[in-house]
Structure 1
Amino acid sequence: MKVIWEFFFCLTPSMLLFSVAMLYRSKWICRLVEEGTRKLTQGIWIIICSLLKLLQPSVLYATGDQDAKIKLIYKPTALANYVIQNCKALAYAPLAEWPKADPHLQFFFNFIWPIEEDAQGHCGITFTRDHLLIQDGGIVALDWAVRIKDQDAQAKREYYPGERAPGCHTSTPPIIILIPNALGKITQNLLSLCGLALQQGFYPVVFHRRGYGGCPLATPRYQEFGDPSDLVQAVLYIQSRHPSSVLFAVSEGSGSGLLLSYLGERGSSSYLVAAACISPVFHGQQFFETPFPKLYHEAALYYRKLQLSRYATALSSVMDIKEIFSCRSLQDMEKSMFCSVRLLDISQKDTLDQGMELRPIQTNWAGYWERNEPLRDADEIAVPVLCLCSTDDPLLPSASTLPISIFQNSPYFFLALTSQGSHCGFLQQDPLNNASWSHEAVLEYFQVVTEFFTVEERKCFMEGFVGWDIAQGIRHKTGTMAHRRRRPTMLRRERPVLGSQRQLSSHSRLVTFEEQETFTWNRSYTR
Structure 2
Amino acid sequence: MASFAWDYLLCLFPSLLFFLLRLGLRWHSVRYWTRLAVRAAGWRLWVIVCLILEMPLDRNTRTWNKEPESPGPDILSGSGQTSDGLRLICKPTALAKYLLQHWGCLAMPRLAAWPKGDPHLQTLSSLLSGQVDTVQFTRDNLLLRDGGVVALDWAVGTRLCEAIRRKEHQSGGKVLGCFTLTPPVLLLIPQSWGGMTPHLKMLCHQAMDQGFYVVVFHPRGTAGCPLTTTRMTEFGDPADLEQAVAYIHRRHPSSMLVAVSEGSGSGVLLSYLGECGSSTHLTAAAAISPVLLGQLWFETAMPPVYRWGALFHRKLQLSRAVLDVDRVLSCSSLRDFEETLFCASDWDSYWDRNEPLRDADEVAVPVLCICSRDDPLLPPASTLPLTLFQNNPYFLLVLTDRGGHCGFTLEGCGTWSHAVVLEYFRVVTDFLKREEGGARNRTSTTVPSRRRRPIMTRKSRPQEAEQSSVTAEEGNFTWKRSYTR
**TM-score, reference length from structure 1:** 0.77
Pairing 1:461–2:461 present: no
1:109 and 1:374 mapped to 2: Cα distance?
Answer: 27
Could you give the per-residue CA deviations for residues 50-71 of structure 1, whole angstroms, max 9, x where no partner exists? 1111124x56657434334311
Within the candidate set 374, 378, 392, 2:356 is matched to: 374
Could you give the per-residue CA deviations for residues 369-394 of structure 1, whole angstroms, max 9, x where no partner exists? 00000000011111101110001100
AA partner of residue 264 (structure 2)? S
2:122 and 2:392 mapped to 1: Cα distance?
Answer: 32
Residue in 1 that maps onto 2:327 = 323
Within the candidate set 72, 76, 80, 2:88 is matched to: 72
Give the secondary-structure state (helix, strand or coil) at the position aligned to 2:255: coil
2:11 and 2:306 mapped to 1: Cα distance?
Answer: 55
Q: Structure 2 vs 1, CA of residues 235 and 9 (structure 1 numbering), >3 Å: closer, same or farther? A: closer
2:336 and 2:10 mapped to 1: Cα distance?
Answer: 71
Within the candidate set 95, 102, 108, 2:111 is matched to: 95
AA partner of residue 342 (structure 2)? F
Residue in 2 that maps onto 1:510 = none
2:306 and 2:19 mapped to 1: Cα distance?
Answer: 49
In the TM superposition, residue 100 of structure 1 has moved relative to its aligned partner by: 1.0
Residue in 1 that maps onto 2:427 = 448
In the TM superposition, residue 329 of structure 1 has moved relative to its aligned partner by: 1.3
In the TM superposition, residue 151 of structure 1 has moved relative to its aligned partner by: 5.2
Residue in 2 that maps onto 1:352 = none
In the TM superposition, residue 323 of structure 1 has moved relative to its aligned partner by: 1.3
Indicate if the aligned counterparts of 1:388 and 1:417 stay in contact, CA closer than 8 A. Answer: yes
Residue in 1 that maps onto 2:29 = 28
Residue in 1 that maps onto 2:216 = 206
Q: Structure 2 vs 1, CA of residues 304 and 25 (structure 1 numbering), >3 Å: closer, same or farther? A: same
1:21 and 1:95 mapped to 2: Cα distance?
Answer: 32
Within the candidate set 98, 101, 111, 1:82 is matched to: 98
Pairing 1:400–2:382 present: yes
Residue in 1 that maps onto 2:171 = none
AA partner of residue 322 (structure 1)? D
In the TM superposition, residue 307 of structure 1 has moved relative to its aligned partner by: 0.8
Within the candidate set 187, 190, 197, 2:197 is matched to: 187
1:178 and 1:442 mapped to 2: Cα distance?
Answer: 12
Indicate if the aligned counterparts of 1:293 and 1:395 stay in contact, CA closer than 8 A. Answer: yes
Residue in 2 that maps onto 1:501 = none
AA partner of residue 292 (structure 2)? F
Could you give the per-residue CA deviations for residues 187-231 of structure 1, whole angstroms, max 9, x where no partner exists? 000000000000111111100111111111111111111010111
2:284 and 2:340 mapped to 1: Cα distance?
Answer: 35
Within the candidate set 331, 336, 356, 1:332 is matched to: 336
Alignment of structure 1 residues 40-79 onto 2, 5 Å: 40-56=41-57, 61=61, 63-64=63-64, 65-68=67-70, 69-79=85-95
Q: Structure 2 vs 1, CA of residues 246 and 256 (structure 1 numbering), >3 Å: closer, same or farther? A: same
Pairing 1:130–2:109 present: no
2:19 and 2:332 mapped to 1: Cα distance?
Answer: 60
AA partner of residue 103 (structure 2)? C
Within the candidate set 159, 184, 188, 1:149 is matched to: 159
2:40 and 2:163 mapped to 1: Cα distance?
Answer: 37
Residue in 1 that maps onto 2:73 = none
Q: Structure 2 vs 1, CA of residues 177 and 15 (structure 1 numbering), >3 Å: closer, same or farther? A: closer
Could you give the per-residue CA deviations for residues 453-486 of structure 1, whole angstroms, max 9, x where no partner exists? 111111111224xx79xxxxxxxxxxxxxxxxxx
Q: Could you say what the CA RMSD is over the residues aligned between the two structures, in angstroms?
A: 3.2
2:166 and 2:50 mapped to 1: Cα distance?
Answer: 42
AA partner of residue 276 (structure 2)? R
Count of residue pairs brought into register by the alignment: 443
Give the secondary-structure state (helix, strand or coil) at the position aligned to 1:315: coil
Indicate if the aligned counterparts of 2:87 and 2:400 stay in contact, CA closer than 8 A. Answer: yes
Indicate if the aligned counterparts of 2:220 and 2:227 stay in contact, CA closer than 8 A. Answer: yes
1:315 and 1:11 mapped to 2: Cα distance?
Answer: 70
Indicate if the aligned counterparts of 1:95 and 1:421 stay in contact, CA closer than 8 A. Answer: yes
AA partner of residue 107 (structure 2)? A
Residue in 1 that maps onto 2:463 = none
1:308 and 1:10 mapped to 2: Cα distance?
Answer: 63
